[in-house]
A and B are shown apart, each in its own frame.
Chain A
Amino acid sequence: MGKNSLHVLKGINFSVSEGEMVSIMGSSGSGKSTLLNILGILDEADEGTYTLDGTLIKDLNEKVAARYRNKFLGFIFQSFNLINYKSALDNVAMPLYYQGVKRNIRTEKAMHYLEKVGLADWASHLPSELSGGQKQRVAIARALASDPKVLLADEPTGALDSKTSYEVMELIQGINDEGKTILIVTHEDDIAHMTKRIVNLKDGIIIDDSKVNQVRAKTEAYV
């Protein structure tokens, strides 16, 4: 952007097929967040092509970009990014609101996803009344609400302690088991090994891309 333009990604070539669960690793400044932003149509690459579900994503106007984001993608952020004056249920219903879903259907669907992340009893609570793990689970429910093709998670466990991190990862693994494609940006090794494939970035290029044996995130709480 502007004067201080920085060449972050220098030739990335990889593809993710449906149902995969990929983690993108790398030290800070390696370009992993930029990659995720491009994948999330929040940012656009200067060169190269990006194809999502058979659609070439290039030179989209904001209106179309917004529609694609809504239809294809679900976002999970490190800092949860819930809207703090809306209840958990309303937060989950937001993507549906932008799809133009009617109010009662929206509430019903949002409730369904809240149940899925185990927070049905907290539906009417504001984000400030929830713990970090609960907030992230609301955010996951929100990401799922529009039934997207791909889930993009930017350091989903970055703000959580390890116990809660594992709970959240278990939830994400469960979602992957149901067939959703998931990309996770992380710099934590144990989190990366809970995915099925690790892409290692360094200084804007892929230095390693290998399949790993998935470690299930069983926590004591669930034993």
Chain B
Amino acid sequence: MSKLFSRDSWAEIIEALSSNWFRTVLTAFGVLWGIFILVILLAAGNGLENGIKQGFSGMATNSMFMWSQTASQPYKGLPKGRRYNFKTDDVPAIKQSVQGLRFVSPRNQLGGFRGSNNVVRGLQTGAFNVYGDYPEIIQQQPMDITSGRFINYSDINEKRKIAIIGSGVQSALYGPKEEVIGSYIKINGVNFMVVGTYKKKGNNGDPEEMQKEIYVPFTAFSQAFNMGDIVGWMAITAQDDYSITELKSQIFDVIKTRHTINPNDDRAVGNFDLYEEYSKINGLFTALNFVAYFVGILVLLSGIIGISNIMLIVVKERTKEIGIRRALGATPWGIRAQILLESIFLTIVSGMAGIILATAVLWLVNYQLSTMDTSEMMFINPSVNIGVVFIALTILIVSGLLAGLIPAQNAIKIKPVEALRTE
């Protein structure tokens, strides 16, 4: 080990490698290219992952949405094809009987795709989605409150007729400099006071349409639009230690019991499991990462074979020199250590150059991306974390060792007397 830190052995290595610059650089290029490809591939995968996951940004991914359909089987004297609705009482019932749920938000909705004009303000009208919601919904489907506030529990308890409108609604109903907060809009003939504005991020769904929504308190919505105790659908989020995919059958059971539905009727409750979708995407990126490692390491391997090859030639070329060194008192281990160190040194230096080059390219790409609006892009912040760099370095050191092993073994097989005879 002392050899590793002695200035002399490093001087020897530098001397040996610099005695044929052109060849050393060409050899190093193989490894440089391999590690460059590895880092770039991993970073590109990461960038794509960041871009896709931005769509879920802040969204509670451990969630599902649940709505009522028609009973597909007759049960307890009730016919099949029967319609039913979730009731407000279902919400506390679910919370009580299923452990591990974080939020259970009942929702109601007015309007919808290509709905007729339902919102009026002065002379302006527009068709917007109107949701009746609980305050928790902002933690399940995040939005930026750009001014004013969101719904709170006082609004729920007092059934206040207030509304939070999206920037799309604002631009349709208001002039550019008009004060929004405190003004009134008429939704299906009922006046609501605007108390806040929002803007949504993310790229799943129609970004234009997402800004054209109006949120009002659930209780006020029910009263104003004669919903009674009907709940349109629910957004349910599980706690972090639980998976919603595992909990959802329990939730369905509660609903089925309360609404007299056959326990085997799988079609009575419709649902969209966000967590399952998210897991699928996660799996995709795991596969992508694997491909990046696979390809990168194979390219790196060919570079390493190049180094090994050159070291074999170097040993052959320096047969005589090795013989002289042996005659002057070099031990076999000394010779082996030198060849190994040369190979590791060459691998690490060229690998570091590859990492630096890849970093430079990534920096350039990031710089370019930073000048654009990335909120709706599929590709953001391509990067690798420091752990990956350490993995790459470990691969380099190990492969440098492997690359040097055969040549070093060859070098000490040479008997000094044979080496000196080559004249």
Q: Which residues of A are interface residues toward B (Cβ below 8 A)?
A: 1, 37, 40, 42-43, 62-63, 66-67, 69-71, 75, 77, 79, 81-83, 85-86, 94-95, 97-99, 103, 142, 146
Could you list 8 further interchain pairs (A-B, Cβ under 8 angstroms) beyond the known A43-B415, A66-B330, A97-B8? Answer: A42-B416, A62-B331, A63-B333, A66-B332, A67-B329, A69-B328, A81-B327, A81-B420
Would you list the 6 A-B pairs with minimal beta carbon distance, nearest first? A70-B329, A98-B329, A42-B417, A66-B331, A85-B19, A62-B332
The answer to whether B321 and A98 touch across the interface, beta carbons within 8 angstroms, is no
The answer to whether B329 and A79 touch across the interface, beta carbons within 8 angstroms, is no
Q: Mark B395-421, 1 if CB is under 8 A from A, else 0.
A: 000000000000000001001111010
The answer to whether B331 and A63 touch across the interface, beta carbons within 8 angstroms, is yes
Known: A42-B416, A42-B420, A86-B15. A98 touches B334 (CB 8 A): yes
Interface centre among A69, A83, A86 (most CB of B within 10 A): A83
Secondary structure at chain B's binding surface: helix, strand, loop or mixed? helix
- Jot down 22 A-B pairs with beta carbons below 8 A, ordered by A: A1-B418, A40-B327, A42-B327, A42-B420, A63-B333, A66-B329, A66-B330, A66-B332, A66-B334, A67-B329, A69-B327, A77-B420, A81-B323, A81-B324, A83-B324, A85-B16, A86-B15, A94-B325, A95-B329, A98-B329, A98-B330, A146-B329
Complex Cα distance A125/B327, Å?
23
The answer to whether A79 and B332 touch across the interface, beta carbons within 8 angstroms, is no
Complex Cα distance A171/B224, Å?
118
Q: Which residue from chain B places its CB closest to the CB of A93 in the assembled complex? A: B8
Complex Cα distance A43/B419, Å?
12
Complex Cα distance A86/B320, Å?
14
Report A-chain residues with C-beta under 8 Å of the C-beta of B418: 1
The reply to whether the CB of B423 lies closer than 8 angstroms to some CB of chain A is yes
The reply to whether the CB of B114 lies closer than 8 angstroms to some CB of chain A is no
The reply to whether the CB of B107 lies closer than 8 angstroms to some CB of chain A is no
Chain B contacts with A in 298-333, Cβ cutoff 8 A: 320-321, 323-333
The reply to whether the CB of B177 lies closer than 8 angstroms to some CB of chain A is no
Report B-chain residues with C-beta under 8 Å of the C-beta of A62: 331-332, 412
Report B-chain residues with C-beta under 8 Å of the C-beta of A97: 8
Interface size, chain B (Cβ < 8 Å): 26
A-B contact count (CB 8 A): 65
Complex Cα distance A200/B223, Å?
126
Complex Cα distance A42/B326, Å?
9
Report B-chain residues with C-beta under 8 Å of the C-beta of A94: 325, 328
Report B-chain residues with C-beta under 8 Å of the C-beta of A85: 15-16, 19
Report B-chain residues with C-beta under 8 Å of the C-beta of A77: 420
The answer to whether B417 and A43 touch across the interface, beta carbons within 8 angstroms, is yes
Report A-chain residues with C-beta under 8 Å of the C-beta of B412: 62
Report A-chain residues with C-beta under 8 Å of the C-beta of B420: 42, 77, 81
The reply to whether the CB of B7 lies closer than 8 angstroms to some CB of chain A is yes
Smallest beta-carbon distance A175→chain B, Å: 18
Complex Cα distance A53/B70, Å?
106
Report B-chain residues with C-beta under 8 Å of the C-beta of A43: 415, 417
Complex Cα distance A142/B415, Å?
21
Complex Cα distance A75/B107, Å?
95
Q: Mark B327-366, 1 if CB is under 8 A from A, else 0.
A: 1111111100000000000000000000000000000000
The answer to whether A142 and B332 touch across the interface, beta carbons within 8 angstroms, is no
Complex Cα distance A26/B105, Å?
107
Q: Which of B8, B19, B328 contacts A70 (CB 8 A)?
A: B328
Chain B contacts with A in 250-271, Cβ cutoff 8 A: none
Report B-chain residues with C-beta under 8 Å of the C-beta of A146: 328-329
Report B-chain residues with C-beta under 8 Å of the C-beta of A70: 328-329
Complex Cα distance A97/B323, Å?
16
The answer to whether B331 and A83 touch across the interface, beta carbons within 8 angstroms, is no
Q: Which residue from chain B places its CB closest to the CB of A43 in the assembled complex? A: B417
Smallest beta-carbon distance B242→chain A, Å: 64
Q: Which of B328, B330, B331, B332 contacts A75 (CB 8 A)?
A: B328
The answer to whether A69 and B329 touch across the interface, beta carbons within 8 angstroms, is yes
Report A-chain residues with C-beta under 8 Å of the C-beta of B330: 66, 98
Interface centre among A42, A69, A98, A142 (most CB of B within 10 A): A42
Report A-chain residues with C-beta under 8 Å of the C-beta of B321: 83
Complex Cα distance A81/B423, Å?
10
Q: Which residue from chain B places its CB closest to the CB of A78 in the assembled complex? A: B423
Smallest beta-carbon distance A135→chain B, Å: 13
Report B-chain residues with C-beta under 8 Å of the C-beta of A63: 331-333
Report B-chain residues with C-beta under 8 Å of the C-beta of A86: 15
Complex Cα distance A102/B420, Å?
28
Interface centre among B8, B332, B416 (most CB of A within 10 A): B416
Known: A42-B420, A85-B19. A98 touches B333 (CB 8 A): no
Smallest beta-carbon distance A117→chain B, Å: 17
Smallest beta-carbon distance B103→chain A, Å: 71
